Amino acid sequence: MNSRSRSSATVLEPWVFGGLRVAPALRATGALAVRWRAEGGEWVRPVVGPADWRREWLEGTAPEAVWAVDFPPGADERALAEAGAAGRVFERAGGRILRRGAGAELRIALAKCDRYLATPAGARAARWRWVPAQALPVGALVVVARDDEFLAGVLASRWLEVWRRGLGCRLDVATVRHFPPPWAPDLPRGALSREREERRDAVVRAWRAAGGGLADFDPESFAAEELNAAVAAAYGWPAAIDDAAALQRLRC
């Protein structure tokens, strides 16, 4: 089976997106951003992009240096009027409220989360961070629109890197979309066996101990090793499995 053509029941495709494109005219900083926020309210959102991974974030916050006018698929002309100056800028710039397509799907998915995972694309290794759902992901980001610590731990483990190297590419949306997790992410917890529930909890504990998406962690650290072992156990792999054997199992 081609490793990039798996069923969406066993891969992450429904929850993985690329960062959005937001026109420069719809972004603001400083006093202009303050004005837009005062008039636009919920229609003006903080922007997060790859450059923000150069700094640390406080838990539950996102960088707020840049703001953007943005409307979800369900917005209408009334929303544009309610946004005041920000709405007028949106109209003058030729902004469109997306009703379908990946941009609309991402906005809908984010509306269902309190936070989401994101990492810069193109890197050799993922740097997953939690981002508050009100922050708009833009540019070359890989976005996972699920507030799920088990899935976060799986993606932060070395096995995603093994998968990426096996595909022979840099980290991108397609690489993550087709990465096979131990079981379907939307499987209800009540449907998990006791063994899977225990393994899930072990991954969550290891993910939190390794930083929990609040900061980068050393892939050579003891915490990272514990996370790798917990995720391997969730897959049902032998404790001493090597990279070649793990890649073979991920491809099956």
In the chain, where are the structural domains located?
Answer: 13-251
Selected residue with higher pLDDT from 211 and 48: 48
Which pLDDT belongs to residue 10? 60
Which pLDDT belongs to residue 3? 40
Token duo for residue 77: 């002309």
Once rounded to an integer, what is the mean pLDDT over residues 66-70? 95
How would residue 1 be classed by pLDDT, with cut points 50, 70 and 90?
Answer: very low
Once rounded to an integer, what is the mean pLDDT over residues 29-37? 94
CA–CA dist 229, 245 (Å, integer): 14
Written in H, E and C, the secondary structure of 75-139 is CCHHHHHHCCHHHHHHHHCCCCCCCCCHHHHHHHHHHCCCEEEEEECCCCCCCCEEEECCCEEEC
User: For 24-33, 59-68, 118-127, 196-205, which range has the lowest pLDDT when averaged over its residues?
Assistant: 59-68
How would residue 7 be classed by pLDDT, with cut points 50, 70 and 90?
Answer: very low
Residue recorded with tokens 């976060």 = 152
Which pLDDT belongs to residue 8? 38
pLDDT over 90 at 145, yes or no: yes
Selected residue with higher pLDDT from 151 and 58: 151
How would residue 64 be classed by pLDDT, with cut points 50, 70 and 90?
Answer: confident
Token duo for residue 16: 């993985």
Model pLDDT for residues 109-134, shown as the tens digit of each residue: 999 999 999 999 998 789 999 999 99
Percent above pLDDT 70 for the chain = 96
> What does pTM read for this prediction?
0.90
Q: What number of other Cβ atoms are within 10 A of residue 104's Cβ? A: 15
Which pLDDT belongs to residue 9? 44
Percent above pLDDT 90 for the chain = 75
**Mean per-residue pLDDT of the chain:** 91
Give whole-number Cα distances, 223 to 123, 132, 153, 202, in Å. 22, 25, 12, 12
Indicate the DSSP class of residue 211. T
Three-class DSSP category at 235:
helix
pLDDT over 70 at 6, yes or no: no
Q: Mutual orientation of helices 222-235 and 149-156 as an angle, nearest 10°?
A: 110
Contact 11, 102 (CB under 8 A): no
How would residue 56 be classed by pLDDT, with cut points 50, 70 and 90?
Answer: confident
Which pLDDT belongs to residue 21? 92
How would residue 218 be classed by pLDDT, with cut points 50, 70 and 90?
Answer: confident
